[in-house]
A = this chain, B = another copy of it.
Amino acid sequence: MNKDDKILIIGAGLCGSLLALRLAQRGYKIELFESRPDLRKVDISAGRSINLALSDRGLKGLELCGVVEKAKSICIPMLGRQMHDVKGNTFDSKYSGREGEYINSISRGDLNAILLDEVDSHENVNIHFNKKCIDVDLDETRIQFYDYKTKKEFSVIGDVIFGADGAGSILRKHYISERKFLFSYSQNYLTHGYKELEIPADENGKNQLSKGHLHIWPRGDFMLIALPNMDGSFTVTLFLSYDEGEYSFANLTSEEKITEFFEKEFPDALALIPNIKEEFLNNPTGFLGTVKCSPWSYQNKTLLIGDASHAIVPFYGQGMNASFEDVYVFDGILNMGLNTWQEVFKAFEKERKKDTDAIADLAVDNFHEMKDHVANPLFKEKRKIEMDLEEHFPEEYFSKYAMVTFKEDIPYSEAMKKGRAQDKALLNLIADDEINTHLRMSKDELKQILKTIKEETNEILQEDKIAGL
């Protein structure tokens, strides 16, 4: 591998753009291909604002590439969740008891535009829009493209190909279909799909819900969430079963039924979504899937990165963050001074896969927790104790959520392992009345609780280790 290698990147979405930027900064020559038009020139949002949660792991990747300040300029901090019950009552739950720990709502399109602008400032990168990857020859490192403008096909040969082409990756499909090696692969869908709706700003351009929260309407079998946009609007997402239960995407097919459902379950939200019927009937129903695979690379020729290698469900708000952290970790591997792309690719997967597997599993767990457990008294009490501990012992206690979201120096796999053990310890201590909690606990009482939790957590980890788990 050397700086004259011609690097082809498929996909100029969030991951492909940041990867191109970092490799350009390191002096590589890059051809970056994107099937869609340049989103800085053409509105490809189909009228909808798509926002994502940006947190510390994502910021770490952006910082590496010197774009963190630009990104922060379009961030909307969300300090916690605001839960809405069927009567319209709200209940706030902060993401952390520590100061300065929050997640951000950010526009996918605007962030992508920032990254593309940065990429454009490097002469050693060429971006090619409207070029759809339709075929890959793995051994020849050749990609066949269809040009939506000229309506013609053409092919490009490089020294190495990065597939940053998302959850539906064409490169990954070639790993499966060409059977050049044993390719472990899984695609797992949730029984629920999703539908995006919009709460517009009010007539004065002001937000109609609190802007500093991620809003959740948890209803057990389904839920609604809303994230703020810069213009005062909120992007609302309904997560609902395809075909099970009293209400499902299968039976919400008439205006009457849709209104009935929202009036019964989400009356406060319904009042704020003026175009609910049109949006519900016209917006597509999306699916929610997890993709895992291995190996990510083929010889010294190709590598999958970002969603292409590990698509996850959105319930931990970590999809984009995991992809940006991929770039950060990959950059670290490049610093090791290995000799070949093959060594780099293998070292990257070895370092990274356990962590992307972990966040994939955590995200599915959180789906169930968000729609269900947030209403569970045991979980509420746990959350309260954790806030108190984080507030009074900010250097000593980190909830699972905090480790995953704010401790970007801990790998996902470690955050999962320790966080799960800690959750188990805490839930059992509460259930067994072994820690006594009341409204205003003294710092000494909290210190004793912290000690007990730490002991129990370590015991759980030790017992799992002896059992070979």
Contacts and interface: CB of A to CB of B under 8 A. Distances in A.
Interface of A: 182-189, 242, 287, 289, 292, 368, 373, 378, 420, 423-424, 427-428, 431, 463-464, 466-469
Contact of A185 (B182, B186, B287): B186
Copies of this chain in its oligomeric complex: 2
- Going nearest first, the 7 A-B pairs with the smallest beta carbon separation are A186-B186, A424-B467, A182-B189, A184-B188, A431-B466, A184-B189, A428-B463
Contact of A428 (B186, B373, B467): B467
Nearest to A421: B467
A420 B466 CA distance: 12
Contacts of A289: 182
17 contacts: A182-B289, A183-B187, A184-B188, A184-B189, A185-B185, A185-B187, A186-B186, A186-B187, A373-B468, A378-B466, A424-B464, A424-B467, A424-B469, A427-B466, A427-B468, A428-B463, A431-B466
A453 to B, nearest CB: 13
A157 B289 CA distance: 34
A163 to B, nearest CB: 19
Contacts of A368: 468
Contacts of A464: 424
Contacts of A469: 424
Contacts of A463: 424, 428
Contacts of A468: 368, 373, 427
A289 B182 CA distance: 9
A37 to B, nearest CB: 26
Given A424-B469, A428-B463, 9 more contacts: A182-B287, A182-B289, A183-B189, A184-B189, A185-B185, A368-B468, A428-B466, A428-B467, A431-B466
Nearest to A288: B182
A467 B186 contact: no
A457 B64 CA distance: 48
A196 B90 CA distance: 65
A431 B427 CA distance: 26
A373 B184 CA distance: 25
Contact of A184 (B187, B428, B431): B187
Contacts of A188: 184-186
Specify which of A183, A466, A468, A469 lies most central, judged by the most chain B CB atoms within 10 Å of its CB: A468
A427 B462 CA distance: 11
A242 B463 CA distance: 33
Contacts of A420: 467
A27 to B, nearest CB: 33
Contacts of A189: 182-184
A419 to B, nearest CB: 11
Contacts of A428: 463, 466-467
A234 to B, nearest CB: 28
Nearest to A456: B463
A312 to B, nearest CB: 14
A287 B181 CA distance: 11
A432 B429 CA distance: 22
Nearest to A182: B189
A435 to B, nearest CB: 14
Contacts of A186: 184-188, 292
A466 B183 CA distance: 37
A420 B464 CA distance: 11
Contacts of A184: 186-189
